[in-house]
Amino acid sequence: MSRGIPRIQDEPAFVVHRYDWSESSLILETFTRHFGRVALVAKGAKKPTSNFRPVLLPLQPLYVSYSGDAEIRTLKGAEWVGGHIMPTGEALLSGYYINELLLRLLARDDPHPSLFDLYRQVVQVLASGHEGTIAPALRAFELLLLRDIGFLPELNAQTLTLESLQPDALYVLVAEGGLRTHNAQDRTGLAGSVWLQLHDSLSTDAPFTATLRLCAEMPPEQRNALQGQLRALLHYHCGVKTLRTRQMMIDLQSL
pLDDT, tens only, 82-97: 877 888 888 999 999 9
Q: pLDDT-derived band of residue 186, with 50, 70 and 90 as boundaries? A: confident
107: burial class by Cβ within 10 Å (0-12, 13-18, 19+)?
exposed
Cβ-contact 29, 17 below 8 angstroms: yes
164: burial class by Cβ within 10 Å (0-12, 13-18, 19+)?
exposed
pLDDT tens per residue, range 6-55: 899 999 999 999 999 999 999 999 999 999 999 999 999 999 999 998 89
Q: pLDDT-derived band of residue 251, with 50, 70 and 90 as boundaries? A: low
Q: Which of 161, 230, 152 is nearest to 190 (CA)?
A: 230
Alpha helix positions (H), the chain: 89-105, 113-127, 134-148, 192-202, 207-217, 220-238, 244-254
Residue 255 has pLDDT above 60, yes or no: no
